[in-house]
Amino acid sequence: MDKNVIPDKHRAAFLVNFKSPLEMGYTDTIMPEGDQVLIRVSGAGICHSDVHVWEGIWYKGGSPGKLPHIQSHEISGIVVSTGNSVPERIKPGDPVLVYPWQWLEDDRYTAAGLTNIPDRPVVPGINIHGGFQEYFPVSHYRYLINATGIEDLPALAPLSCGGLTTYRAVKKLGGKLKPDDYVAVVGLGGLGSYALQYLRLLFPQVNIIGADIRNDSIEFAEGICRMDGYINSSSGDINKMIMETTRGHGFRGVIDLVGRGTLPTYSRALAKEGIYVMVGLMGTGVQEPISPFFTVSMEKTIAGSYVGTLSEQHEVVDLARKGLINYIKPVSSRMDLEDASEGLKNLEDGKALGRQVVVF
């Protein structure tokens, strides 16, 4: 696109008052300088973290930095202008995904490739303005992943959080799994539908068991990736169901995408040498008990997994480009920017089946 057609101001949805509908307005278009890149947004996903920001429960922790605030950290789009230090390989017209887990300065973690846990993180949509706007200024070209060959650019957006977080979590099971082991995915919404696919792809030798409290979530996930069994934990004796489903073995791996009320039950169901990967942040502030005795005597591993590295972000887009994961089906609804508030409310009320994306 010609630089001349980039407007001075563009439409954006602003969080002005917590828990109130976002307000539509205009904001200045920031032309890129130096390492910066301006993109025209194609898709901006809605994540559960956005609900926490929208509700104001992370405000004391610095998210958002200030109001009014522009939400969404899952952003895909088209490059429209580049700063004069940006390499020539990045040019207007390029389709891109924005890696949102950015950092203010390099430190020992980013130097080691652990860009997901820098000392000074700064995340669009969470700390600074995000993707609920027509044009988005990317602070450095290193955060852009080329999306050439991706046919549905808006649907790619959630791969920068939902589809990335689950990839890193599933990779943490590597080296632990043997043929015929059982692995559980706890929570079968949008995140679950990515996690199941990564398990199938990376560990085809295991039995994959999905668990959720909703039948429609189980059906949604099953429509995207075949499971070897599932557990509806809303009724009946959950421990008995787990033992029946795993033929008495328990789980060698658990990917917990919920993180509220799930740890005591599913960590107890871990087999010897099993690994439990905590991903879900629904239980912000929640403390859950686990057994030191069984963790020690059965050599269980309890691990946390936080989003994903910049390197893993490239890998995830490559998997989508090669058609090895379905990134389109986990997107259960698409909406206009004006309806982003409705999307946040859907998620807060537990009404969203998969990922929701604002499409421009």
Contacts to Zn ion by CB under 5 A: 47, 49, 161
3-state secondary structure the chain: CCHHHCCCEEEEEEECCCCCCCEEEEEECCCCCCCCEEEEEEEEEECHHHHHHHHCCCHHHCCCCCCCECCCCEEEEEEEEECCCCCCCCCCCCEEEECCCEECCCCHHHHCCCCCCCCCEECECCCECCCCECEEEECCHHHEEECCCCCCHHHHHHHHCHHHHHHHHHHCCCCCCCCCCEEEEECCCHHHHHHHHHHHHHCCCCEEEEEECCHHHHHHHHCCCCCCEEEECCCCCHHHHHHHHCCCCCEEEEEECCCCCCHHHHHHCEEEEEEEEECCCCCCCCCCCCCHHHHHHCCCEEEECCCCCHHHHHHHHHHHHCCCCCCCCCEEEEECHHHHHHHHHHHHCCCCCCEEEEEC
Specify the residue, 47 or 128, whose C-beta has the smaller distance to Zn ion. 47
The CB-of-281 to Zn ion minimum distance in angstroms stands at 9
The CB-of-113 to Zn ion minimum distance in angstroms stands at 21
Specify the residue, 72 or 110, whose C-beta has the smaller distance to Zn ion. 72
The CB-of-44 to Zn ion minimum distance in angstroms stands at 12
The CB-of-313 to Zn ion minimum distance in angstroms stands at 13
Specify the residue, 181 or 256, whose C-beta has the smaller distance to Zn ion. 256
Specify the residue, 165 or 262, whose C-beta has the smaller distance to Zn ion. 165
The CB-of-118 to Zn ion minimum distance in angstroms stands at 17
The CB-of-156 to Zn ion minimum distance in angstroms stands at 14
Specify the residue, 10 or 345, whose C-beta has the smaller distance to Zn ion. 345
Specify the residue, 34 or 65, whose C-beta has the smaller distance to Zn ion. 65
